[in-house]
């Protein structure tokens, strides 16, 4: 469970420009900050959300990263998304009130939590927050549709290239290097996200390296 933190609030958080308060007024941001709880640090591999549990809160990554994942009927794991600092997790729970994916820390993870009850009440009176939630839900739907199109129509190298470019852009928005970065996710997780095998991802990275498009050293990438 989270705890209130008077030293850090939404208004002075470095992630506010890419997080829930991004398009809120100063007044709306203050009200939102009063409802946000800041959770303890989770270790690598810890689960913040468990599939099948009732949706009682939304979560935002403050530091570290996480993967949203689940298990198919045949027992194979899939990765729905990777969450970076400032990104909201758990939106899929709005569909039927229960989470359909686990949220697992890929590295030491800090997070913020806002209860669904308080969020729903604030959305009734804060139009900026209501618009932002609709935008996030729309973006989540668009991302899902784009991934389905890529899996059905784009070859393995194209999918991996698109993934690396998208990750680079997301890191740049967080004032991190878009050309030199360390992958917090494993190649197996990337494969499960892109609908590929581990061997295919490794071969594609090797082809990119031979072409001079990337430099790869373990999980370190240079574009």
Domain boundary residue, one of 98, 117, 143: 143
Query: At CA 171, angle to CA 167 and CA 177, rounded to 5?
Result: 115
Say how many CA atoms lie within 13 Å of 108 toward its Cβ: 2
The enclosing domain of 175 has a CATH number of: 1.10.10.10
pLDDT for 7: 54
Cα(137)–Cα(187) distance, rounded to whole angstroms?
A: 28
Task: Look at residue 182 and tell me if it is in a domain.
Answer: yes
Residue 94 and residue 64 share a domain: yes
pLDDT for 150: 81
Residue 130 and residue 160 share a domain: no
Taking the chain (223 residues) in consecutive chunks of 10 residues, what is each chunk's mean pLDDT? Answer: 56 87 91 93 97 96 96 88 95 93 97 95 94 91 84 90 95 94 97 96 97 95 96
Total structural domains within the chain: 2
CA 130 to chain centre: 20
CB of 63 closer than 8 Å to CB of 110:
yes
């Amino acid at each position: 469970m989270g705890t209130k933190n008077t030293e850090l609030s939404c208004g002075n958080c470095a992630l506010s420009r890419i997080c829930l308060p991004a398009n809120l007024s100063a007044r709306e941001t203050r009200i939102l900050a009063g409802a946000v709880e800041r959770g303890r640090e989770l270790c690598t591999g810890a689960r913040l959300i468990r599939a099948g549990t009732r949706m009682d809160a939304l979560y935002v990554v403050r530091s570290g990263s996480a993967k949203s994942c689940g298990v198919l009927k045949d027992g194979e794991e899939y990765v729905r998304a990777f969450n970076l600092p400032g990104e909201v997790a758990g939106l899929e729970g709005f569909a039927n009130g229960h989470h359909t994916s686990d949220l697992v820390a890929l590295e030491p993870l800090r997070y913020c939590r806002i209860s669904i009850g308080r969020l729903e009440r604030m959305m009734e009176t804060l139009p900026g927050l209501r618009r932002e939630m609709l935008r996030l839900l729309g973006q989540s739907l668009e991302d899902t549709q784009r991934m389905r199109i890529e899996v059905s129509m784009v070859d393995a190298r194209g999918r991996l290239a698109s993934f690396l470019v998208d990750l680079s852009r997301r890191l740049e928005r967080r004032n991190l290097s878009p050309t030199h970065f360390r992958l917090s996710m494993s190649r197996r997780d990337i494969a499960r996200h892109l609908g590929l095998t581990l061997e295919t991802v490794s071969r594609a990275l090797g082809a990119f390296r031979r072409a001079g498009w990337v430099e790869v050293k373990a999980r370190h990438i240079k574009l």
